[in-house]
Amino acid sequence: MAVIDVEKVISELKTGEKVDLTAGTDFWHTAAIPRLGVPALRTSDGPNGVRGTRFFNGVPAACFPCATGLGATWDTELLHKVGKLLGEECKAKGAHVLLGPTINIQRSPLGGRGFESYSEDGVLSGTLAGQYCLGVMEEDIVPTPKHFVCNDQEHERMGVNSIVTQRALREIYLKPFQIALKMSNAGAIMTAYNKVNGTHVSENKWIIDDILRKEWKWNGLLMSDWFGVYSTSDAINAGLDLEMPGPTRWRGGALQHAAANHKVAPHVLDERVRNVLNLVNLTSKSGIPENAEEKELNRPQDQALLRRAAAESIVLMKNENNVLPFDKNKSIAVIGPNAKITTYCGGGSAAVRPYYLVSPFEGVSSKVTAEVAFAQGVYGHKELPTLGPLLKTPDGKPGYIFRAYNDPPSVEGRKVADELHLDNSGTLLMDYSHPNIKSQTFYVDMEGTFTPDESGTYDFSVTVVGTGKLFIDGELVVDNSKNQKRGTAFFSMGTVEVFGSKDLNAGQTYKVFFQFGSGPTGDAANGSHELFGPGAFRFSGCKRRDEEESIAQAVELASKHDQVVIFAGLNNDWESEGYDRENMDLPPGSDELISRVIAANPKTAVVIQSGTPVTMPWANDAQALLQAWYGGNEAGNGIADVLFGDVNPSGKLPLSFPIRLQDNPSYLNFRSERGRALYGEDVYVGYRYYDKTQTPVLFPFGHGLSYTTFSRSGLQIASDGDKLTVSVTVKNTGDRAGSEVVQLYVTPAPTNSINRPPRELKGFQKVHLGPGQSAEVKIEVDKKEATSFWDEIRGAWISEKGVYGVLVQGTTAGGKAEDENLKGNFEVAETTYWNGL
């Protein structure tokens, strides 16, 4: 794409063309003005993979660990490489703008999209996001930090009023954006759905214009979240450049009318257009043409980076008696609900269709030269697992045949309008279309065969936006076509899950036939399905298990093996955009399974996959415990690399793990109550609260063990002008190579005029050391920023004079309370006020 003369184009644009440029034309693209050489731009989700333009049957993509997993690496160099590969994936998918990173703050473990964000701490989140953005920008792709700001829950997310003090807004929720923009000057930002202190962010002039534009001097493009615009003139005048997606709901004719009647001044409309055109020029360097073909990369070097990211994200929480690493030459018992499934990503817009997936069982099996035994124990699903991957087409391929018709099944001799081979039986038809499909009302027959491994009663289910009937060998097993009730599936537009069951015999092949009618044929969505296309479907099933019997089998297996690993946790049904978790617990039965297996074999290693904290009532009994998050394409290999010591774990928790939900500072104020959410914990989010109240946690922020040991010594503090440099010597005192994360916290001066958290993270650095190797680690921070809080009376940051403390922390020898901390202090000679980035 050629660079355009922005001012010349603006002078030649007609008012209607200017209006067109301020809104998308479809779900992913901006408007083009061919006569003036203005091309359309393509956006694509993020943040941990590049979907392309299709939710339905899209082109496969690289999927990195979820953001909390990437946050757990504390590795700026790795995040830069992640961003660069995502930029290359954008080029493969023809996308000029990547809709990520997500850098909201996890107020509560219950946040449905908590897995999408890096940390409860703004410095860690903002620093990693800044490197991510720089990596994306290295490929001339524009990253889009989101959701600006306080989009920290899913409950009533489009209407909830986030009531937050100015101090908390600045010190906690705006902080990651402030840092990421200072580092990268990212070319686009996405506004949040919610209100902040009474006004939707997309029309909040104080947040958009006063803070972002004027105070921070940022001049990029500001776009809405999808369907996150609620006005015409207010949003334009506040500074929202681009309404997404298209076709427009608030601009178009309404904006032309507002401009004609001076509700929107000509120079204001020009400014919105100018930012769109500047984005066009910014993306022109990428060389991506309009409407580019979507392709796959999936190169060996990409797979290696995905595997590295998966392994480095893993946090070794406990390792008593050196249970880990395991021995590859000994047999192992693999147990648990997450062992043979691939929990690679959370749910919602972050989900992508992966190039491939590696389950934990497959990862372990690839390492071990002896027997690998398996017991299911319990299931961990919230909804029954999809049937698609278990089916086969008539010619023996994995998956099933999808045949679309314009006419209902009652019409004899109807013609096939479209035929596809699919493997995912849970999908949103948002972007499905075909020239032969005549309207939004159409019908689909899906057909495959299923051959069960075990005899028994199998449960089946159907969830739809539309109508659906599931037949097994011609018998109607599930009917979800009438008396429908709305649930949380498919962005809360789908029905609740409707169930049926049938006895099946092992080794016998059964015909699975799913009859689907698109959105308008159903009654649960009440027309709202039109927001996301013609409908959605999910047909699922699995063998029914007697929980007690199944746990007993797992216990017996564990008792007969020296090496035992349990894989448990959540998945993208439990943690997803669109709804929050109801509690912090593992799925029913998981705690019972883990407790009883540990009792049978205390050397059992427990691996938990989740995007946010879970309760662990058995934690004191577990000798070995790993937090493995959602690990992307290479999740199973990354976990196995750590379990068997091919990778020495170096992850540190990017958020605190409370003992119970009631201990979390947001406990009384999470969720929308009559349209408002009170951020009553103020600045005391995460570890700031637990430190201040001395509330015990299960595992603290920054915690993470290693298979080797480290010492820290020789603390030196140099305070020179605006810079604070903290130096420390780190030594690997163990017998294997490993990585240490040096964490720099600043403690408040006793003379500070306001209550402050006992410590706050201000810098960090990861260093890799061989056995016996030492290195000097220097962390340099801005002294003013490291000592400031937000003065609500002055409307500025204030660095008060006084003596501040320095606290350097890192890997502990055994996860004990007596951390090997280094302490020192420095002085701020005089009080100063400041604003800006």
pLDDT digits (tens, 9 = 90+) for 467-498: 999 999 999 999 999 999 999 888 888 999 99
Q: What's the pLDDT at 817?
A: 38
> In the predicted model, what is the mean pLDDT of residues 144-158?
97
**pLDDT tier, 814 (very low <50, low <70, confident <90, very high otherwise):** very low
Q: Rounded mean pLDDT of 737-744?
A: 98
464 and 490 Cβ atoms separated by less than 8 Å: no
pLDDT of 818 > 50? The answer is no
- Confidence bin at 808 (pLDDT 50/70/90): very high
Give the confidence band of 533 by pLDDT, cuts at 50, 70, 90.
confident
pLDDT at 383 over 80: yes
Average pLDDT value for residue range 640-651: 98
The model's pTM is: 0.96
The residue from 20, 152, 225, 573 that is catalytic is 225
Active site residue 225: yes
Proportion of the chain above pLDDT 70, given as a percent: 98
Spatial distance between the Cα atoms of 85 and 102, rounded to a whole number of angstroms: 17
Q: Please state the rounded mean pLDDT for residues 785-806.
A: 98
Q: H helices of 562-677, where?
A: 590-600, 635-643
* Confidence grade of residue 525 (pLDDT, cut at 50, 70, 90): low
pLDDT score recorded for residue 76 = 98
Spell out the SS3 assignment of 711-732. EEEEEEEEEECCEEEEEEEEEE
Which amino acid is residue 836, in one-letter code? G
- Which pLDDT score is estimated for 816? 44
Q: Say if residue 112's pLDDT is above 60.
A: yes
Q: Is the pLDDT of residue 164 over 80?
A: yes
Class of domain 385-543: mainly beta
pLDDT at residue 71 greater than cutoff 70: yes
Cα 692 from Cα 747, distance rounded (Å): 12
360-380+547-699: CATH topology? Rossmann fold (3.40.50)
**What is the per-residue pLDDT across 331-376, written as a single tens digit (0 to 9) for each?**
999 999 999 999 999 999 999 999 999 999 999 999 999 999 999 9
Confidence of residue 529 (pLDDT cuts 50, 70, 90): very low
If DSSP codes are grouped into helix, strand and coil, which group holds residue 473? coil
Which of the two residues, 528 and 126, has the higher pLDDT score? Answer: 126
pLDDT confidence of residue 488: 86
The pLDDT of residue 526: 58
Mean pLDDT across 385-414: 96
What is the C-alpha to C-alpha distance for residues 70 and 743, in angstroms, rounded to an integer? 17
In tens, the pLDDT along 191-216 reads 999 999 999 999 999 999 999 999 99
pLDDT higher than threshold 60 for residue 585: yes
Where are the domains positioned within the chain?
40-241, 360-380+547-699, 385-543, 710-834
Category of 321 on φ-ψ map: left (φ > 0), alpha (ψ -120 to 50) or beta: left
Average of per-residue pLDDT across 605-623? 98
* 271-285, 327-341, 802-816: segment of lowest average pLDDT: 802-816
Do 40-241 and 710-834 show the same overall fold? no
| Rounded Cα gap, residues 813 and 703, in angstroms | 11
416-422, strands of its sheet edge to edge: 416-422, 400-405, 443-450, 510-517, 467-472, 475-480
Residue 141 has pLDDT above 80, yes or no: yes
CATH superfamily of 40-241: Glycoside hydrolase, family 3, N-terminal domain (3.20.20.300)
Percent of the chain with pLDDT over 90: 95
Quote the pLDDT of residue 539.
98
At 531 the pLDDT is 62
pLDDT of 491 reads: 83
Question: What's 710-834's CATH class?
Answer: mainly beta
Q: Does residue 439 surpass a pLDDT of 80?
A: yes
